[in-house]
Chains A and B, each alone.
Chain A
């Protein structure tokens, strides 16, 4: 079996496929984002920034990735 296995996940409401073994920090990087400037929620639970590099993306995960924008 040489084909790389992938996981199906949702990021900010959009469907994505991610190679298995990818960490959440890896996913954030793949999206072109700086992990120091965003917050990640996985399946409605906050993922502490300090653990992003250890946590693996799992099939069916639902992510919300947010940052600060202008507001009153």
Chain B
């Protein structure tokens, strides 16, 4: 019997290596169905003002139960360490847990993380007792800085958020994987199943995505595809790929040719 291939972040163990976002869906029903099809055990969520004009409007928590699925509150929309800390203090109070996703962005055009603010926020949040999964650039040195600042997981972008361009820098992603003592997850840039499988083949512990599923023509079918891709890429990584050769090497024996 094969032992179960789980991964652990900040003392919590998960079977699924796919984390999905909950933004951009046509409806909360569709969102919940996509999460179910993806098999994800963690979903990212944002923290926003409640709607005072319609307090009875349907809520995310009515469709995706935080007791069943781990909510990972994010700091989307924050551009400074202080904004991110304020947001996550509220998230911790609303949710009652301290595992969070930090993203401190530098500009709207690329949505690239501001790594100086990100590292500073990671330090401050860690001191406050948060367990911080850190969205970062695909730069091995910055990833190391995040880890030194206390990150419980390193989450380099594969490509800009929402771009669907796939993993642009496999070499640096691999260097990050090799250098990190905490889990590494590609976060952002995945466009289709092969991108997710490729990230896993590089040895990442998981993949985080939102737009690739939410903006697919059939989000639920794409969620299934991503589940299979992440599992497939992980299996291929564990299996260990064959070496690459410059020229052909026949698969059938040459001896006994008629």
Task: Spell out A's residues near B (CB within 8 Å).
Answer: 11-14, 31-33, 37-41, 44, 46-49, 64-72
Beyond A66-B50, A67-B50, whether A72 also contacts B161 by CB under 8 A is yes
Residues of chain A with a CB closer than 8 A to B67's CB: none
| Chain B positions 70 through 100: 1 when the CB is less than 8 Å from some CB of chain A, otherwise 0 | 0101101000000000100111011100000
Check if A70 sits within 8 Å of B24, measured CB to CB.
yes
Stretch with Cβ within 8 A of A (4 or more), from B10-18, B51-59, B173-181: B51-59
Stretch with Cβ within 8 A of A (4 or more), from B41-49, B136-144, B240-248: B41-49
- Most chain B CB within a 10 A radius of its CB, from A11, A32, A67: A67
Residues of chain A with a CB closer than 8 A to B74's CB: 71-72
The residues in B between 95 and 110 inclusive whose CB is less than 8 angstroms from any CB of A are 95
B22 CB–A CB distance under 8 Å: yes
Q: How far is the CB of B181 from chain A (nearest CB, A)?
A: 26
Check if B45 sits within 8 Å of A71, measured CB to CB.
yes
Complex alpha-carbon distance, A21 and B184, angstroms: 51
Check if A46 sits within 8 Å of B90, measured CB to CB.
yes
- Most chain A CB within a 10 A radius of its CB, from B24, B47, B71: B47
Task: Spell out B's residues near A (CB within 8 Å).
Answer: 21-25, 28, 31, 44-50, 52, 55-56, 59-61, 66, 71, 73-74, 76, 86, 89-91, 93-95, 161-162, 210-211
- Name the CB-closest residue of A to B161: A72
Residues of chain B with a CB closer than 8 A to A65's CB: 49-50, 52
Complex alpha-carbon distance, A27 and B175, angstroms: 52
Residues of chain A with a CB closer than 8 A to B23's CB: 70-72
Q: How far is the CB of B191 from chain A (nearest CB, A)?
A: 14
Residues of chain B with a CB closer than 8 A to A49's CB: 93
- Name the CB-closest residue of B to A44: B86
Complex alpha-carbon distance, A32 and B55, angstroms: 6
Q: How far is the CB of A27 from chain B (nearest CB, A)?
A: 11
Beyond A39-B90, A46-B89, A48-B93, whether A68 also contacts B46 by CB under 8 A is yes
Check if A37 sits within 8 Å of B59, measured CB to CB.
yes
Q: How far is the CB of B134 from chain A (nearest CB, A)?
A: 15
Q: How far is the CB of B88 from chain A (nearest CB, A)?
A: 11
Check if B49 sits within 8 Å of A66, measured CB to CB.
yes
Beyond A12-B50, A66-B49, whether A39 also contacts B31 by CB under 8 A is no
Complex alpha-carbon distance, A39 and B89, angstroms: 9
- Name the CB-closest residue of B to A14: B52
Query: Which residue of B46, B49, B55, B162 contacts A71 across the interface (Cβ within 8 Å)?
Result: B46
Complex alpha-carbon distance, A27 and B21, angstroms: 32
Known: A38-B94, A69-B45. 11 other contacts (CB 8 A): A12-B52, A13-B49, A31-B50, A38-B50, A66-B47, A66-B48, A67-B59, A68-B46, A68-B47, A68-B61, A70-B46
